[in-house]
Amino acid sequence: MKISELGEFGLIDRLAKAFAETGRPDSLLIGIGDDAAAWKASGVQLITTDTLIEGTHFSLHHWGWRDLGWNALAVNVSDIGAMGGTPEQALLTLALPPDAAVADLDELAAGLVDAGREYGTAIVGGDIVACETLMVTMALTGQATADAEGRPLLMTRDGARAGDVIAVTGYLGDSAGGLRLLAGEREADPEATEHLKRAHLRHRPPLAVGRAAARLGVRAAIDVSDGLLQDLGHVCRASGLGAVVRATVVPMSPALVRSFPGQALALACGGGEDYELVLIAPGHAIQQVQRVSKGPVSIIGEMTADPEHRVRLLDAGGRELSLPAAGWDHLREAPWRR
């Protein structure tokens, strides 16, 4: 069955039933089905929005509809996590071709429910429009982490200080490597293939580490969405500093290193879609985060006084490296214009 046969209100009813599976937070007063959702709030609230559009952010040749649902929420969870917060209420806007299959929409909803359960988030409203291009937009609110007196503990892009240590969670480049395997650009051994493809198909922002970091005194952070060096550049400009990153300690998975010899560092520094966290703070705060984190938290460099606000990638001998094709600009690099 096509969604055009179900109609707008039939589809809304169907999605609302599916989303009820995530459970209803106690704070929620009104969810899907009214002019607006309503919830009891206190302290500092956060809000972010991110869109995934077919052909730019994903291809259905690689992602299934369930991956799309998961990732649409996960990329927004990543932004709330990068502020040190806890995600709460999500809005879903779907731009759908009218010949989309209802079964595919059910899969999309299942992926959203999977991610909603994983990250404790409820879908409380949204909008559906017909469009020839498939697009999923989510807006997500969150609660800021607070200290014992209720003061918000936020991690911001302008919170870095010269001499702060730069750390990153997890491994970088796996998602970019997985995309290249999915696109058939090269082959890898079965174990590496499984690991790298999964990294591309299911983003897993480290929400608990973000919250712990905010509590432990980390005042600057960003999530890695467009690529490590580009995203770190945003912190440099916002904080009025430069950054030095040591190539030898950028964390890369064994699967990436053995599957992409010669390319792994470029993927790790500029590949994007990692949805790991860059944490920037005095060394003692980063060490405390390392102690409580279940996954790796690697120190990769430090913030410097630099009037040009540059990010410099240095090799083992301290020489500056330049990498091809770092970062991503959504307006300049629309795929159909290449």
Q: Which is nearer to its own copies, 138 or 196 (CB)?
A: 138
User: Closest distance between its own copies and the C-beta of residue 158, in Å?
Assistant: 8
The residue (of 54 and 306) whose beta carbon lies closer to its own copies is 54
| 89 three-class SS | strand
Select the span of 15-23, 86-94, 190-198, 246-254 touching its own copies (CB under 8 A): 86-94
**Given candidates 16, 20, 25, 39, which one binds its own copies under the rule CB under 8 A?**
39
The smaller minimum CB distance to its own copies, of residues 5 and 315, is found at 5
Residue 149 makes contact with its own copies by CB under 8 A = no
Geometric angle at alpha carbon 134, from 133 and 137, rounded to 5°:
120
Of positions 16, 20, 38, 323, contacts its own copies by CB under 8 A: 38
Within 10 angstroms of residue 324's Cβ, the number of other Cβ atoms is 7
Complex with its own copies: residue 135 or 267, whichever CB lies closer: 135
- DSSP-derived 3-state class of residue 101: strand
Judged by phi (left if over 0) then psi (alpha if -120 to 50, else beta), residue 316 lies in: alpha
Closest CB to its own copies among residues 85, 251? 85
User: Per CB under 8 A, which region of 49-57, 114-122, 292-300, 318-326 contacts its own copies?
Assistant: 49-57
* 43 is an interface residue for its own copies by CB under 8 A: yes
Q: Between residues 316 and 331, which has the closer beta carbon with respect to its own copies?
A: 331
The verdict on 49 binding its own copies (CB under 8 A) reads yes
147 lies in the site for its own copies, by CB under 8 A: no
Q: Does 136 bind its own copies (CB under 8 A)?
A: no
- 110 belongs to the binding site for its own copies (CB under 8 A): no
Give the binding range for its own copies (CB under 8 A) out of 44-52, 240-248, 250-258, 267-275: 44-52
Tell me which residues in 156-215 interact with its own copies (CB under 8 A): 156-158
What string marks each residue from 221 to 240 as x (binds its own copies by CB under 8 A) or -? xxx--------------x--
Say how far apart CA 160 and CA 235 lie, in whole Å: 7
Question: By C-beta, is 82 or 285 nearer to its own copies?
Answer: 82
**What does 17-34 look like in DSSP terms, one character per residue?**
HHHGGG---TTEEE-TTS
Are 45 and 184 contacting, i.e. CB atoms less than 8 angstroms apart?
A: no
Q: How far is CA 63 from the centre of its chain?
A: 16
Single out the residue of 14, 16, 25, 44 in contact with its own copies (rule: CB under 8 A): 44
Residue with tokens 């169907």: 14
CB of 95 to its own copies, least distance (A): 7
- Residue of 14, 51, 194, 246 that binds its own copies (CB under 8 A): 51
> Binders of its own copies among 89-108, rule CB under 8 A?
89, 91, 93, 95-96, 98
User: In 10 A of CB 119, how many CB atoms?
Assistant: 24
Which among 149, 276, 148, 164 has a CA at the least distance from the CA of 210? 276
Beta pairing, strands 311-314 & 242-246? parallel
Provide, rounded to whole angstroms, the least separation between the CB of residue 187 and its own copies.
31
The rounded distance, in Å, linking the Cα atoms of 276 and 171 is 8
Number of residues in contact with its own copies under rule CB under 8 A: 75
> What element of type H or E holds 140?
strand 135-143
According to CB under 8 A, which one of 111, 126, 242, 271 is a site residue for its own copies? 126
CA dist 25 and 19 (Å) reads 13
Question: How far is Cα 8 from Cα 262, in angstroms, rounded to an integer?
Answer: 50
Opening angle at CA 137, ends 131 and 138, nearest 5? 150
